[in-house]
Structure 1
Amino acid sequence: MSRRKARELAMHLVYQLSLKNAVGQEIVENYYEAREIPVENECEFDTLKLSDNDLQYITSTVMLIEENIKEIDSYIEKYSRGWKVARIGRVELAIMRIAIFEMLNREDVPNASAINEAIELSKIYCEDKSRAFINGVLGNIQREIEA
């Protein structure tokens, strides 16, 4: 699996964090358990071959985002110009949380790449105006981090 697909899958799981009263560990475990059960109408993620690196990336991303959610969300609120996290779409929020997590914690992912990957995900899952919003927020965060 490519890092892009692993990131996309992680985004789906981070999205679930905002919808359920479950903790990250449960969400990750439930996903891995569900993959082992044959499903009549499989989604594309059910048939992906996950390497150990993919599993580690997905698991650590979900778990560490959950652990650092207040810090990550404070960046979002700071640069979303009057929008509280509760008002932001859950998909957009999940995409930004992953990008911010990568910018703050993943030395193997350049900040510009984290933003680019967030924009690529938003092209699949969001409207055009959301893409501009995500790009603006993440660009401001990148400038702060790199200052």
Structure 2
Amino acid sequence: MSQATPAARRKARRFTLQALYQWQLAGASVTDIEAQFLANNDFAKTDREYFHDLLHGVPGQVKELDELLTPFLDRRVEELSQVEKAILRMGAFELKERLDVPYRVVINEGIELAKVFGAEESFKYVNGVLDKLARKLRYEEASERPSSKDD
């Protein structure tokens, strides 16, 4: 597990989103996409290990991640935009596998990626889906927060 700064992890997530987007559209091998990204981008201030873990982890568990997300979606996974699909899959993977990352960080990073790369309101959708998934996968951690009026 790498001890990277939040900024280095943020850059890793941004590159991972772009790489997953390419993987979803082109279906190229993750190893080839990773090599291309490492060759064509400045990874000096990026958590390369985290990039690798996310980029290989999401496609490796894509069926399971989609099944985890499905109960919280208002449409089929195939109907999501490519950006939303990549962000939600990455968030689901982090919530499931990276317990060292607080669930609030996972959700916030997904929101920020959606604001930059997604459609105008997609950050709200990403927030809602990941928040519900966090309550399922990280019940103990999520239940420690103060409850809202809807809880």
- Which residue number corresponds to residue 6 of structure 1? 12
Aligned residues: percent identity? 30
Match of 1:26 among 12, 24, 32: 32
Structure having greater relative contact order (Cα 8 Å, sep ≥ 6): 1
**TM-superposed deviation, 1:5:** 1.1
What corresponds to 2:54 in structure 1?
61
Distance 2:54 2:43 in 1: 18
Counterparts of 2:60 and 2:21, CA distance in 1: 15
Q: Distance in 2 between matches of 1:29 and 1:47?
A: 13
Greater shift after overlay, 126-135 or 58-67?
126-135
- What is the aligned length? 133
TM-score after normalising by structure 1: 0.83
- Per-residue Cα deviation, 1:97-134 (whole angstroms, up to 9, x for no partner): 11111110012211111001100111111234211111
Structure 2 distance, partners of 1:26, 1:47, is 17
Alpha-carbon separation, structure 2, partners of 1:15 and 1:85: 14
TM-score, normalising length: structure 2: 0.81
Q: Distance in 2 between matches of 1:125 and 1:31?
A: 18
Give the AA of the match of 2:70: E
Correspondences of 1:52-131 after superposition (within 5 Å): 54-81=47-74, 83-131=75-123
Aligned partners of 2:27 and 2:119: how far apart in 1?
27
Letter in 1 for 2:56: M
User: After the TM superposition, which parts of structure 1 deviate over 3 Å for at least 4 consecutive aligned residues?
Assistant: none
CA distance in 2, matches of 1:17, 1:129: 24
Taking only aligned residues, the RMSD between alpha carbons, in angstroms, comes to: 1.5
Measured in 2, the distance between the counterparts of 1:80 and 1:132 equals: 13
Query: What 5-or-longer segments of structure 1 have no aligned partner?
Result: 36-45
In the alignment, the residues of structure 2 paired with residue 78 and residue 17 of structure 1 have an alpha-carbon distance, to the nearest angstrom, of 24
